[in-house]
């Protein structure tokens, strides 16, 4: 009996094919923001991008606390410990020092861990997913690169959260040209398992423009109502 590897063991590049009607809906809200709220083209582009990334961040799930594991039908030689098979990408370091920063870029493999019971097993670093929530944090990091605050209900805290936010910045890049003719914003997220981390997978990614358009529409309506109330 071996361990059941996670379904997202193969890294995929995300292919996004936005429906034309969704792109048109978002463009419509950008134009509304310009006409009704007085935003310039730069401001409407920034607002639209924020809603797209916000939509993706909300849809991105946080993984379970522990790596997949299976208790094997055997005991340690002493008979005191059970034997567990854990699905991991981490490689056992051969040297001390910086080499102890284990790499998770390899293929999935089965690691044997000896523990008295599951409660003890779940205290082992090899089983704990310390970076759970990295995918969600990567969208926030993308927003930060564009001076946008992307929010979600799940937030990593403490030292682990600080490490995760730093790691998230490695996977995202932003290229903007908001002056001159044909201004644009481009965000690239290179986290290999992103498609699997998003609820609904590729279909949810492809519908992000539509959801962003609806959120932007509601925001514009609220701002207009507030202005009318103030008047």
Model confidence pLDDT, tens digit, residues 8-41:
333 334 445 678 898 899 999 999 999 999 999 8
Nearest CA-CA partner of 146 in 184, 117, 203:
184
- pTM (2 decimals)? 0.73
Higher pLDDT, 8 or 125: 125
Which residue, 101, 121, 141, sits at the end of a domain? Answer: 121
Mean pLDDT in the chain? 81
**Is 42 within a domain?**
yes
Give backbone dihedrals phi and psi of 54, rounded to 5 degrees, phi first.
Answer: -60, -40
Are residues 50 and 155 part of one domain? yes
| CA 22 – CA 45 distance, rounded (Å) | 15
Q: Which two tokens stand for residue 173?
A: 């890049």
**Is 34 within a domain?**
yes
Are residues 185 and 135 part of one domain? yes
Are residues 217 and 164 part of one domain? yes
Are residues 223 and 148 part of one domain? yes
Q: Tens digit of pLDDT for each residue in 216-225?
A: 999 999 999 9
**Is 9 within a domain?**
no
Average pLDDT over residues 62-70: 89
Q: Place 2 in a pLDDT band, splitting at 50, 70 and 90.
A: very low
Are residues 179 and 223 part of one domain? yes
Are residues 53 and 77 part of one domain? no
Are residues 150 and 104 part of one domain? no
Q: State how many domains the chain has.
A: 2
Are residues 222 and 112 part of one domain? no
Give backbone dihedrals phi and psi of 149, rounded to 5 degrees, phi first.
Answer: -100, 105
Q: Place 106 in a pLDDT band, splitting at 50, 70 and 90.
A: low
Map the chain to HEC letters. CCCCCCCCCCCCCCCCCCCHHHHHHHHHHHHHHHHHHCCCHHHHHHHHHHHHHHHHHHHECCCCCECCEEEEEEECCCCCCEEEEEEECCCCCCCCHHHHCCCCCCCCEEEEEEECCHHHHCCCCCCECCCCCHHHHHHHHHHHHCCCCCCCCCCCCHHHHHHHHHHHHHHEEEEEECCCCCCEEEEEECCCCHHHHECCHHHHHHCHHHHHHHHHHHHHHHHHHHHHHHC
Are residues 111 and 137 part of one domain? no
Q: Tens digit of pLDDT for each residue in 176-195?
A: 888 888 888 888 888 878 88
Range of the domain at 144: 20-63+131-230
**Is 96 within a domain?**
yes
């Amino acid at each position: 009996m071996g361990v059941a590897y996670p379904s997202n063991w193969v890294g995929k590049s995300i292919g996004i094919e936005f429906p034309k009607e969704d792109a048109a809906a978002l463009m419509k809200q950008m134009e509304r923001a310009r006409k009704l709220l007085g935003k310039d083209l730069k401001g409407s582009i920034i607002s639209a991008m924020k809603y797209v990334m916000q939509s993706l961040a909300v849809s991105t799930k946080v993984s379970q606390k522990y790596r997949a594991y299976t208790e094997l039908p055997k005991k340690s030689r002493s008979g005191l410990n059970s034997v567990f098979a854990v699905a991991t990408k981490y490689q056992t370091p051969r040297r001390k020092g910086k080499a102890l920063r284990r790499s998770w870029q390899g293929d999935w493999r089965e690691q044997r861990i000896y523990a008295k019971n599951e409660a003890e097993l779940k205290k082992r670093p090899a089983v704990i997913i310390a970076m759970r929530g990295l995918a969600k944090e990567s969208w926030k990091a993308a927003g930060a690169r564009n001076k946008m605050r992307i929010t979600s209900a799940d937030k990593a805290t403490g030292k682990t959260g600080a490490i995760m936010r730093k790691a998230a910045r490695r996977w995202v890049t932003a290229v903007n040209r908001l002056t001159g003719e044909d201004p644009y914003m481009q965000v690239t997220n290179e986290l290999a398992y992103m498609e699997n981390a998003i609820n609904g997978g590729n279909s949810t990614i492809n519908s992000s423009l539509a959801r962003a358009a609806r959120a932007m529409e509601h925001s514009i309506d609220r701002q207009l109502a507030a202005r009318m109330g103030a008047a």
